[in-house]
Structure 1
Amino acid sequence: MNPLDRFRLDGRVVVLTGASSGLGVGFARALASVGADLLLVARRAERLEALADELRGSGTEVLTHPGDVSSPDDCRAAAAAAQARWGRVDVLVNNAGVGRAVPASRETPESFDQVIDVNLKGTFWMSQACVPLMPRGATIVNVASVLAHVAPRFPQASYAASKAGVLGLTRDLAQEWTSRKGVRVNALCPGFFHSEMTESGSQDLGPMLETDSMMGRFGEQPELDSALLFLASDASTYVTGQSLIVDGGMAAL
């Protein structure tokens, strides 16, 4: 077998959250390019449909499901939509996320809760909803952050806390589900990539990356897509409970 064939997802059903913007759009295109069928989940229905139309034009089977991952009911509804269409979920990519860059002394309970609700609780609720539909050999990829491993260079208490929580959750779910259910669970930890989330702070982040990372630059979407495909596919069948950092060397300094 060609080793590259293990990265293929032909006929696999992938649920991708946070699919309407940023890295999620790139992830959807990458997953489609290796043959996956996609259920795209996000709050912005019009953006989801525009992306779905694009992918369908290339022959991908795509279903959209507007929803908020911070709602357990919405997560269960998304899983039910996948079950009704395909009868199973082979891959879940928990990518939905929000961030707040404010000093901890000025963080409000409402904004802190919102970040935790989406980034951490949403990852759990969607995993809980999908795992009953996942056959042995299925996999979950939780998108965390390099900021779960290192101190943020800017004030982001709620975001850093939520992503560190995702790593703990990843290890626990892997421990519970890998041997018992045959479902692998891993985390993908991006550094700073060009996206809608980083666009507003790019003038400050650029100089920071020049000194605080080995490669001295932002990451580009394809550099993260390949890492996602590794964790989502049979290329990583002996990997579970791990976090894969893709950050240009930031965490190593």
Structure 2
Amino acid sequence: MGDRRLLDGQVAIVTGAAQGIGLAIADTFLAHGARVMVVDVDEAKIEAVVKERREAGHAVAGQRCDVTVEADQDALVAATLETFGRIDVLVNNAGITRDKYMKKMSVSDFDSVLDVSLKGAWLGTRAVSGLFREQKSGAIINMSSLSGKIGNPGQTNYSAAKAGLIGLTKAAAKELGPSGVRVNAVQPGLVRTEMTLTMKPEIFAAKEAEVPMGRAGEPEEVATAVLFLASPLASYINGAVLEVTGGRGI
């Protein structure tokens, strides 16, 4: 893409952005000229991320937000508008895992995963939808997962949440599309993050062996797919699900 910056003048909110794929998305957006609101529940991590990037000359701010709480989501939108004056992109990336086989999975393990990934994305989408409709523009990207397409044993909660995000994406794309707002989803496969590297090495190796490209992905490779969907390059893409899996699960 050379020197072309795809998000010049735009403002993006990225949830779950203090580490992993979320942080890679925030950094990729910053590199492409966006001003970014880094959102997480971990205030110390937000402060460290924001401080480092401000020192590097980036236009970045941070906001603690529990994505499962309606008031927090509304406060996030208000804070972003107060700080940057506009909002153009929302990336619903916040998510957690509570992996267990069903027999051992508690109801709270099920609820908390659906609350963060699915309800959190719905609340975020709802919180920006009025503004996006009014300005007749905006891009929302929901971070699903290959688990939501193929399912994983021990992840009935996570797989259900990530599959639910596809339904949310398509329904919201139909609701908001007439106003010029685009809603799309990304389904990453096996990606090297803090979360996946806690797997037992033999399990990670077995999953990696299922990838036609023969390797796990890097967070930056997911981030560039999100950048594409957020940018004018994807101006006629709405309700789509982009798999970033190296061919795993096709």
TM-score (ref. length: structure 1): 0.93
**Distance apart, 1:106 and its partner CA:** 1.2
Give CA-to-partner distance per residue, 1:217-249, whole Å, 9 cap, x none.
211122212111101111100100010000111
Query: Structure 1 residues 183 and 32 mapped into 2: Cα distance closer, same or farther (>3 Å)?
Result: same
**Distance apart, 1:115 and its partner CA:** 0.3
Asked if the contact 1:87/1:133 (under 8 Å) is kept, the reply is: no
Q: CA RMSD in A?
A: 1.6
Of the three residues 200, 208, 212, the one matched with 2:198 is: 200
**Distance apart, 1:210 and its partner CA:** 3.9
Asked if the contact 1:148/1:164 (under 8 Å) is kept, the reply is: yes
Point out where structure 2 has 5 or more consecutive residues left out of the alignment.
none
Q: Which residue of 1 aligns with 2:147?
A: 147
Within 5 Å, give how 1:182-193 maps onto structure 2: 182-193=180-191
Q: Secondary structure at the match of 1:137?
A: coil
Percent of aligned positions that are identical? 36
**Distance apart, 1:56 and its partner CA:** 1.3
Q: Secondary structure at the match of 2:61?
A: strand
Q: How many residues align?
A: 248
Cα distance in structure 2, aligned partners of 1:170 and 1:62: 27
Asked if the contact 1:189/1:244 (under 8 Å) is kept, the reply is: yes
Asked if the contact 2:21/2:220 (under 8 Å) is kept, the reply is: no
**Distance apart, 1:3 and its partner CA:** 9.5
Cα distance in structure 2, aligned partners of 1:63 and 1:235: 26
Q: Which residue of 1 aligns with 2:102?
A: 104
Asked if the contact 1:209/1:217 (under 8 Å) is kept, the reply is: no
Cα distance in structure 2, aligned partners of 1:65 and 1:209: 35
Asked if the contact 2:182/2:237 (under 8 Å) is kept, the reply is: yes
Asked if the contact 2:17/2:40 (under 8 Å) is kept, the reply is: yes
Cα distance in structure 1, aligned partners of 2:190 and 2:201: 13
Within 5 Å, give how 1:79-90 maps onto structure 2: 79-90=77-88
TM-score (ref. length: structure 2): 0.94
Cα distance in structure 2, aligned partners of 1:227 and 1:113: 29
Letter in 1 for 2:183: V
Query: Structure 1 residues 210 and 77 mapped into 2: Cα distance closer, same or farther (>3 Å)?
Result: closer
Q: Which residue of 2 aligns with 1:65?
A: 63
Cα distance in structure 2, aligned partners of 1:240 and 1:230: 12
**Distance apart, 1:148 and its partner CA:** 1.2
Q: Runs of 4 or more off by more than 6 Å in structure 1?
A: none
Query: Does 2:169 align with 1:158?
Result: no
Of the three residues 72, 95, 119, the one matched with 1:121 is: 119
